Structure 1
Amino acid sequence: MGDDSWLVVGLGNPGPGYAGNRHNVGQMVLAELARRMSASFTSHKANARVAEGRLAPGRPKLILAAPNTFMNVSGGPVANLLRFYSLEPSRLIVVHDELDLPFDTLRLKATGGHGGHNGLRDIIAATGSNDFVRVRVGIGRPPGRQDPADYVLRDFGSTERAVLPTLLADAADAVELVASAGLTAAQQKFHAPA
């Protein structure tokens, strides 16, 4: 695989019953990137759906991947895809939901722990590395005493859905900028106060 390729994994749960859940925001961002590339997802032997393409001529190649597994066991498909495409974890971008960020907020980081996110925990365990970029999409904390596990498995509310297309577009822009200009450039743009 060329030096300009990136594996972009959107975390979520498989099946239409989970498609609108807050936990699936990573896969929603993948759908936006695939739309921009006019690429379609196909089944891959690594137990994932994959779409490949470039956003423009001369831009880095993006390999978009949605594991067919549940979020908490995403590591196997991610490790298999890295091997299949001969990519190091440093060429991996994981897009995921983040309870500890307010809704409609993005944060990007490289390396670090899993922060309690079971999808990240499994990827770190399966790849043996925490040296990958994370695009953290804020979904906010549950209201009142609602269990966080229930909250992430619920669809976005109507107020959130009105803003969601902009959030997904911003997250897709962040992935593009990481791949084309590097993490620091993307952080400078997306971490700046509005």
Structure 2
Amino acid sequence: MNQFLIVGLGNIGAEYHHTRHNIGFDVVSAFVLKHGGLFQTGRLAEVAEVKWKGRQFTCIKPTTYMNLSGKAFKYWLDKEKITLDATLTIVDDLALPLSRLRLRGSGSDAGHNGLRDIQLTLGTDQYPKLRFGIGNDFPRGRQVDFVLGRWDPVEIPIVEQKIAKCVEAIELFATVGLEKTMNLLNNLAFK
């Protein structure tokens, strides 16, 4: 059975529910829900096990807060004995417009605290990341409020489309691999 670690980045606590910064949590939750899994409290994370098409997915939402995401990532990677290329980390990205998703097999943290901590903990940036564009439509000096804010009502239909496409991307990643999934995903524009 092929094993995968699916990591959604976000912050715990009701005040962060469904904020832009928590889109990783929302995507992983949607994937688990679609496949009939249930999250339980585990070490350093909410954890759900999903079986689908002969594949085993360990899905985590770290409870360490964003800045210490690497701790949960590494714990579950080691515990489940999963290789780095069989992981997929879902994260919000300010540098991408809301209309875009970007999947890459490696790459820098791009200033994202959760990715920075994972990279520091692992000692590498060579692991797959699915970046969910959140745009950067905020006044100067208001980045934190924007990132930790909830979606505008006009954005919600696009966000919902993109969450569904991310769930599909997780399935494709596990069945056809990174390269083919990148080719299918990276040129899409959502409206």
The alignment's TM-score, normalised by the length of structure 2, stands at 0.94
- Checking the alignment, whether the CA contact within 8 Å between 2:101 and 2:188 is kept in structure 1 is no
State percent identity of aligned pairs. Answer: 32
Q: In the alignment, what sits opposite 2:146?
A: 151
Q: Which secondary structure state, in structure 2, belongs to the residue aligned with residue 74 of structure 1?
A: helix
- Asked if the contact 1:135–1:175 (Cα under 8 Å) also holds between the matched residues in 2, the reply is no
Q: What CA deviation, in whole Å up to 9, does each residue of 1:63-119 have, x standing for no partner? A: 110000111111101111111101122221100000011103111001121111110
Q: Does 1:131 align with 2:126?
A: yes
- Give a deviation string over 1:134-188, Cα, whole Å, max 9, x none: 0000000033325222210000111011322111001111111111111111111
Residue 193 of structure 1: how far off its partner (Å)? 4.7
Give 4+ residue runs of structure 1 displaced > 3 Å after superposition.
Answer: none
Out of 53, 69, 78, which is 1:74 matched to? 69
Q: How does 1:76-115 map to 2 (within 5 A)?
A: 76-115=71-110
The aligned counterpart of 1:176 is: 171
- When residues 170 and 131 of structure 1 are mapped into structure 2, their CA distance, relative to the original with a 3 A threshold, is same
Aligned length: 189
Give unpaired runs (5+ residues) of structure 1.
none
Q: Which moved more, 1:170-179 or 1:116-125?
A: 170-179
Deviations 1:33-82 (A, max 9, x none): 0111100001112x101111123x33x22111000011111110111111
Q: Would you say 1:48 and 2:13 are equivalent positions?
A: no
Out of 31, 35, 38, the position equivalent to 2:36 is 38
* 3-state SS of paired residue (1:53): strand
Q: Which moved more, 1:31-40 or 1:145-154?
A: 145-154
TM-score by length of 1: 0.92
**Counterpart code for 2:146:** Y
**Take 1:15 and 1:137, find their aligned partners in 2: how far apart are those partners?**
21
Matched residues in 2 for 1:118 and 1:11: separation?
10
In 2, Cα distance between equivalents of 1:22 and 1:43: 23
Which blocks of at least 5 consecutive residues in structure 2 are unaligned?
none
**SS of match in other structure, 1:131:** coil
**Alignment RMSD, CA only?**
1.3
Output the CA distance in 2 between the equivalents of 1:156 and 1:193.
Answer: 21
Name the CA distance, whole Å, in 2 between partners of 1:110 and 1:25.
20
How many angstroms apart in 2 are the aligned matches of 1:42 and 1:190? 30
